[in-house]
Structure 1
């Protein structure tokens, strides 16, 4: 049986509170009493419960990060890396966890982190999950680009709508008149941005090609439908899909941008090295990470905050006039 603080206090003939102060150095204790407590702790091989102490003091200097499927693509990995670097500069460490399959499993994971982490940053949150169920946990939470209902937590979001609208407007300015969006129907911000740009331009024939995922293979598979539509421009929900279409175009002799202009979303590094270099929409990662770290390391004061940063259009060679 592991020694407890109570056992140390009894062996040193002092109160539990005095024993705790002597071992932590957090309060005045007479020298002879402190020596007696330390001797008892050594004799009993007492090991302080760091998790319990951190829970009480909220000073573990550890921040949890919960990531979803995005961790397996470049965009998600980049954001995690930037958070880790920024927290390290602030002399904090990170504990990375994957998003479990159910909210019950998530609550179990977070309970195991209680007393270990000062706060948790979510990079993913499934639609339909109830964030209010987290309120019983003594942990501070912040959500980045999560589709969260309610306003009970601090949130930082990317204005995807304006970013997509800027990319589609760029396609239209290049003289393209048959434009399709390729992606998943649930991407609300991307859909809104696409429709906004098309409506503002007028006299544009537009369409939507639904895919099962957002990966390279999904962009490749959409190729036949893109050509059948007669598209002269395509906006892909992710750069990975756009680069999958690059492979399709290469195999079928479809020239980019001469026959089909292409734009994507995420600013993956591979897009800059593709031929032609891919026009894309970049996340405001620097601003998002800086604000997240500032917020999570500051005292929790006032009402929860929602901060929205605009996405940024990166013009490259895959669109031409």
Structure 2
């Protein structure tokens, strides 16, 4: 059975209040008394009950974060690291849980967290789930880039279309006139940005190449179709897909960007080291993390809001002016 604060106090020969002050390092406690309490806590292997303390103080220094499949991507891992760092420098701790398979399992998770955390941040949220059911919990919920769009919750949304529109405009400016969108149904918010960019350019022909997913192999598998259609530029829904196509281009003598200009999404670290470097749309991670930290450390009675954060185009060699790069001698060979 785990030791309690009362056990520590009895072993040290002090009151429970004095033991609590000594363990927190707060309040007027003589040095030798504090040492006696700490020694008793070590001997009993006492671990403070964070949930009980949070309930008593009506506050918590722990923030819950629920991750999803995006946690396995570089963009998702980068976002998680930034959140943990932002909380750490503010004296907060992070409690991480994977998104369960059913809403019932999520409710079990939230019941376990209740009293331990005051805020729960969702980095993933299945569209079929009814977020309104969360209103019965005494917790503040924040949705980052996955919001259900309901009033009463903090929703931080990413303006993907504007960044994609900027990327496609860059491909057009580089001289592309036959542009493909290499896309997966798993991607969110890509199609509207792509079509908004090309609709204003009637001289540009567009094509959609659907893939089964968003990984390296899916970009590689799109290569034969891109060659068959005579594409001179392609926007990929993720950098992983774009870099998968890089491999295909290398194997088949396709020069980037002179034969096919390329842009992706996520601004993964590999973009700056690929040959040529890859143009990509970057997430507003710093802005999102700062906003979340402000909500978590701000007044509890502050109204929940929905905010849309802009993305940013990072221009690199893969979308440079195609005229300045030598073309492959075997372009178009199948």
Q: Which runs of 5+ in 1 are unaligned?
A: 12-18, 26-37
CA pair 218-55 structure 1, distance change in 2 beyond 3 A: farther
Structure 2 CA distance for partners of 1:47 and 1:280, relative to 1, 3 Å: closer
Separation of aligned partners in 2, 1:147 and 1:221: 32
Q: Answer whether contact 2:256 2:262 (CA < 8 A) is retained.
A: yes
Distance 2:316 2:209 in 1: 24
The change in CA–CA distance for 1:97 and 1:2 in structure 2 (over 3 A counts) is closer
The equivalent residue for 2:176 is 176
Q: Is the 8 A contact 1:55 1:114 kept in 2?
A: no
Which residue is 1:126 aligned to?
126
Taking a change above 3 Å as real, the CA distance of residues 4 and 175 of structure 1, as seen in their structure-2 partners, is: closer
Distance 2:47 2:231 in 1: 68
Quickly say closer, same or farther: Cα 1:205–1:48, change in 2 above 3 A: closer
Shift of 1:115: 1.4
Alignment partner, residue 217 of structure 1: 217
Alpha-carbon spacing, 1:208–1:303, altered in 2? closer, same or farther (3 Å): same
How many angstroms apart in 1 are the aligned matches of 2:5 and 2:121?
A: 33
State TM-score, norm by structure 2. 0.82
Runs of 4+ in 1 over 6 A off after TM superposition: 1-7, 19-23, 45-48
Distance in 2, Cα, partners of 1:49 & 1:87: 21
Aligned partners of 2:143 and 2:156 also within 8 Å = yes
Paired residue secondary structure (1:281): strand
- The residue that corresponds to 1:273 in the other structure is 273
Secondary structure of the residue that 1:125 maps to in structure 2? coil
Q: Deviations over 1:55-91 (max 9, x none)?
A: 3423331111111111111100100001101100000
Q: Distance in 2 between matches of 1:120 and 1:20?
A: 32
Contact in 2 for aligned 1:132/1:152 (Cα 8 Å) = no
- 1:256-295 alignment, distance < 5 Å: 256-295=256-295
**Which deviates more from structure 2 when the two are superposed, residues 185-194 or residues 47-56?**
47-56
Deviation digits for residues 145-164 of structure 1 (CA, Å, limit 9, x no counterpart): 01413222011121101000
Partner of residue 64, structure 1:
64
Deviation of 1:214 (Å): 0.7
Task: Give CA-to-partner distance per residue, 1:27-67, whole Å, 9 cap, x none.
Answer: xxxxxxxxxxx9xxx9xx89874313313423331111111
Q: Could you tell me whether the CA contact under 8 Å between 2:254 and 2:260 is conserved in 1?
A: yes
How many residue pairs get aligned? The number is: 298
Contact 2:149 2:155 in 1 (8 A): no
Name which of structure 1's ranges 274-283 and 284-293 shifts more when overlaid on structure 2. Answer: 284-293
